[in-house]
Structure 1
Amino acid sequence: MAHDIRILTEAELRQVVKLDLAAIDVVERAFAALAGGKVIMPPILSMAIPEANGEVDVKTAYIPGFDGFAIKVSPGFFDNPKLGLPSLNGLMVLFSAKTGLVEALFLDNGYLTDIRTAAAGAVAARHMAPEMVTTAGVIGTGVQARLQIEAAHLVRPFTKVLVWGRDTAKAEACAADIAARLGVDARAETDPARLVEQSQLVITTTPSRSPVLMADWLHPGLHITAMGSDQGEKNEIDSQALTAADAYICDRVSQCEALGELRSALATGLWQGEPPAELGQVVTGAITSRKSDNDITICDLTGTGAQDTAIATHAFSLSIKAGKGTAISS
């Protein structure tokens, strides 16, 4: 019996999958499901290939109530730019959660990962940032710096954005892009401490291996989303900030212990006692992370397979409705 598999390119996916409230809501559903304890999400499979200055990560999750589950393969080969090739690419495969048959192949080159990562930041902002955000700050100047701000703006419509990066020209370019895209006042800030001081919401989006945001910069009414640390040697947030905050929340504790900001806090002995709560528990209301406008909150995002399954099922539904993609018979 023939079975159709839908193949979509990055260009086709960009036409149908947008960074909008629908994408944020579907990723939020995935976090809520994680809190229910019935999601099956294996540890990340990670393989380093030192000879090629490369690595490959594989993520997946089965979420009850979702029609499919995705397996995502994300290679990063960091000498590729010398060859005129992008350093990151990858794909997702969507399987039926009922039969296990392949339903779709998304040749997205990381686009769906970018969208679901930004959407997770918006989920954190929606549930943890102060109700009123007038100024948002972003530390970092890459694709996620732009997308995280765009996503956060959908749930906290701020009017001003500050951008800091080690390269001032890149920070200025990032700010110009944000201003044009969102119609807000956006500018580069040369002092990261001043950026934090003036912001109610700060997002860190760097691959830094040493803190770019210090504990003594924290102030009442601040929310921080740290999404850059997703490997064992990365660290964006001063570990003392985690214990100084009124609430420190992980997307997945087991991942943050190995890959996120929690890893550094555990290694230095600064984090002791009970593990932190998870974002899914905040989404479902099982715990309250922000008890007042003056609280200081931090959310640590390492990226979960549940987010990949959520965005892949969303992309499949949208592509069917739009008639996009090429169907091949297996």
Structure 2
Amino acid sequence: MQLLVLGHDEVTQLLPMTECIEVMRDALRSLAAGDARQPLRSTMMVPGLPGFLGLMPGYVGGPQPCLGIKFLGIFPGNPAVGKDPHQGVVMVLDAATGEPKAVLDASAITAIRTAAVSAVATDLLAREEAATLAVIGTGGQAVAHVRAIAQVRALTEVRLVGRDSVRGQNAQAGLAAQLRVPVRFGTDCQAALDGADIVVTATNSPVPVLRHDWLSPGAHVNAVGACLPSLRELDTATVVAARLFTDRRESALNESGDFLIAAAESGIDADHIVAELGEVLAGTAAGRTSAGQLTVFESLGLTVEDLAAAAQVCAQAERLGVGTRVAF
């Protein structure tokens, strides 16, 4: 048996954002069509540990079918020691025999595919003329989102918001050089959201970092950071006022603190979720229906997204002869 091993840099090289956005469109369509399978993620908390473990098995069909599992440790304090908060691997199995075929760095896949899915959501839900992007957060996920959304909208200004001035200024300088549009960094969320057409929340905050009265009419929000029922980035008023979309209803109804806490406080129910992105892509549900609507995409992050990205990376690695092959 031979196992292909692909590290962070190799995954990044083999999964350019433009390609990943298209791969995510296909994966979300497959999920909506029933050509993908995944249970709810399993999480394990250990008292005293500064993070938790997530186990995410699944299968995605399509032109590059993929069976596998993601093992992911989420340790929010890692950036303070220079490490990504997402640590783990995606393991790809042979769909006919179950034999392990490849192991890929999960932090790279997570960063790229999460931003790519938000780009798909932005393309579907933001106004066509949307050009000002505000991102709450300055970590790797925030930077990846700026790069991804720049692929689907002609941005004229980017505003970054964060508490770490050094990290924020470094992100600002790097993005300004790459995008060649004004990129500003600040610490005031309300000021950054003033007039913003597109908003991303990419934090590890357990409490809201965004308030409804800070948002401009017709804004689109990608809520990315809260992945547990006890965590939220959006206040209740934002969720209640929004035309709300997600990547998967079942995940939102069981895992999304943004939705679950707002539902407990306001009385909204499952019907408040308009559609999954795959349904909008398939044309079975409408996205934005007026220029003045507030649209929100609640991103949970799905195994089928990881596996679709992994299949693309593995295909490219085989074609180019990239990666380490281990016999065992």
TM-score, L = length of structure 1:
0.91
Kindly provide the amino acid, as one letter, of the partner of residue 222 in structure 2: T
Match of 2:41 among 34, 44, 48: 44
Aligned counterpart in structure 2 of residue 259 of structure 1, from 255, 258, 274:
255
Partners of 1:84 and 1:283 in 2: how far apart?
Answer: 38
- Aligned partners of 2:146, 2:80: CA distance in 1, in Å? 30
* Corresponding letter in the other structure for 1:249: F
Distance 1:198 1:32 in 2: 32
Please name the residue that 2:313 is paired with.
315
Residue aligning to 2:54: 57
Q: 1:165 to 1:270 in 2, by over 3 A?
A: farther
Query: For residue 148 of structure 2, what is the aligned residue in structure 1?
Result: 151
Q: Specify which of 232, 236, 239 is matched with residue 233 of structure 2.
A: 236
Q: 1:281 to 1:82 in 2, by over 3 A?
A: closer
Q: Give distance in 1, aligned partners of 2:226 and 2:82.
A: 27
Task: Decide which of 273, 278, 303 is 2:276's aligned counterpart.
Answer: 278
Give, in whole Å, the separation in 2 of the partners of 1:83 and 1:295: 41
Q: 2:76, 2:190 → 1: CA distance?
A: 30
How far apart are residue 37 of structure 1 and its match? 2.8
Instruction: Report the TM-score when normalising by structure 2.
Output: 0.92
CA deviations on 1:120-167 (whole Å, 9 max, x unpaired) are: 111111111111122111011111110001000001120210111134
Q: Secondary structure at the match of 1:207?
A: coil
**Structure-2 change in CA distance of 1:289 and 1:139 (3 Å):** same
C-alpha deviation, 1:213, in angstroms: 1.0
TM-fit CA distance, 1:170: 3.5
* 1:1-330 equivalence runs, <5 A: 3-19=1-17, 21-65=18-62, 66-77=64-75, 87-106=85-104, 108-245=105-242, 247-260=243-256, 261-272=258-269, 274-276=271-273, 277-330=275-328
Q: What amino acid sits opposite 2:65 in the alignment?
A: D
Letter of the 2:136 counterpart:
I
Aligned to 2:170, the other structure's residue is in SS state helix
Rounded Cα–Cα distance in structure 1 between residues aligned with 2:29 and 2:35: 11
* C-alpha contact (below 8 Å) 1:213/1:237 kept by paired residues: yes
Conservation of the 8 A alpha-carbon contact between 2:253 and 2:270: no
1:279 is matched by which residue type in structure 2? Answer: L
Evaluate the alpha carbon distance shift between residue 167 and residue 78 of structure 1 in structure 2; reply closer, same or farther with a 3 A threshold.
closer
Q: Cα RMSD between the aligned structures?
A: 2.1
SS of the residue aligned with 1:212? coil
Question: How many aligned residue pairs are there?
Answer: 325
Q: How many Å apart are 1:87 and its aligned residue?
A: 4.9
**Matches of 1:179 and 1:155 in 2, distance apart?**
17
Cα pair 1:60 1:308 within 8 Å, conserved: no
- Distance in 1 (CA, whole Å) between partners of 2:13 and 2:131 is 31
Contact 2:244-2:272 at 8 Å conserved across structures: no
Given that 2:196 and 2:216 are in contact with CA atoms closer than 8 Å, whether structure 1 keeps it comes out as no
Identity %: 31
Question: Residues 271 and 151 from structure 1, CA distance in 2 versus in 1: closer, same or farther, beyond 3 angstroms?
Answer: same
Change (3 A) 1:118 1:84: closer
Contact 2:59–2:65 (CA<8 Å) still a contact in 1? no
SS in 1 for 2:102: strand
For structure 2, which runs of at least 5 residues remain unmatched after alignment? none
> Could you tell me how far apart the structure 2 residues matched to 1:160 and 1:54 are?
35
Unaligned runs of 5+ in 1: none
Provide the C-alpha distance between the structure 2 equivalents of 1:81 and 1:145, rounded to a whole number of angstroms: 13
Aligned with 1:288: secondary structure?
Answer: coil
